[in-house]
Amino acid sequence: MAVIAVFNQKGGVGKTTTCLNLTAALSLAQRSPIAIDMDPQGHLSLASGLKHGTSQAKSIVSFFKEHTPLAKLIYETPAGWQLIPATLELSKIDALYGSDPQAAKMLKQGLSEELSLTGAPILIDCCPMLGVLTLNALLAADKVLIPVSADYLSQHGVHRLDSALNVLEKKLQRKFERRIVVTRFDSRRKLSFDIYDQLRERYGSLLCKTRIGETVALATSPMHGLDVFAYAPNSPGAADYKALAKELMDSGFI
């Protein structure tokens, strides 16, 4: 079972867009992925078409609050892949468990006890803060996918994130296999190419060759509660996420 945390402490870099469309691409490749929304904003849940009927009784919140088994919290999205959704109630988990050092291990335990046998890749959409929720995601994950939008501040943020992961690795005495993917790439801008080249120089093969372009279909599909393959299967955005899934599978990351 590959557990992949999609994380960057910066907002708006394409974490949710990547989690949504990479999960959909893996589903089309018959890998039966499960996505977990770990952001109280619930944007992944919304973008997956679960805006109606998502009750607190069936979301990741009840795993943390009432210890409901994860397997009982899985929805099938309209596009046919599986999701454990989030609601705003998730924002209370930090306050509930903030000072309990054992709380960060809950998701890891839940996944290994209940979902490890399925062998399905699990993708976790993280929130932008490094609190109890994200620690749960990172401790449960063996891999971290870091989306970086093609702008200067994002590029700067990824160096800090990389250092933070190095510190965490030392503390936990384990490695996180990482990949960085450039998102919102605008081929009309020299800046996009410069940022990609600088990341390549610094991170080498950890940087995905596939770049996710800034495109209308990727921005519009969440409005319709659909991933890009269901919304616009022939769009450049669908081609980019299909290529990313292939690259990550071919390289053994997923």
- The C-alpha angle with vertex 125 and arms to 194 and 7, in degrees rounded to 5, equals 40
For ligand ADP, which is the closer residue by CB, 214 or 227?
A: 214
List the one residue from 10, 15, 211, 242 that touches Mg ion (CB under 5 A). Answer: 15
Q: What is the dihedral of CA 214, 216, 218, 223, to 10 degrees?
A: 140
Q: Which of residues 170-209 bind ligand ADP (CB under 6 A)?
A: 183-184
The answer to the question of residue 49 lying near ligand ADP (CB under 6 A) is no
Which of the listed partners (ligand ADP, Mg ion, none) does 37 bind, with a CB threshold of 5 to 8 Å by partner kind?
A: none
SS3 content of the chain, % helix, strand, coil (to 5): 55, 15, 35
Which range touches Mg ion (CB under 5 A), out of 39-47, 83-91, 159-167, 204-212?
A: 39-47
Give the Cα separation of 133 and 221 in Å (integer): 27
Whether 13 contacts 183, CB under 8 Å: yes
Give the Cα separation of 223 and 232 in Å (integer): 13
Least distance from ligand ADP to the Cβ atom of residue 151, Å: 12
Distance of CA 168 to the CA centre of its chain: 19
Q: Per-residue x/- mask for Mg ion, residues 181 to 220, rule CB under 5 A?
A: ----------------------------------------
Q: Under the rule (CB under 5 A), what is the footprint of Mg ion?
A: 15-16, 43
Q: Under the rule (CB under 6 A), what is the footprint of ligand ADP?
A: 11-17, 43, 183-184, 212, 214-215, 218-219, 222
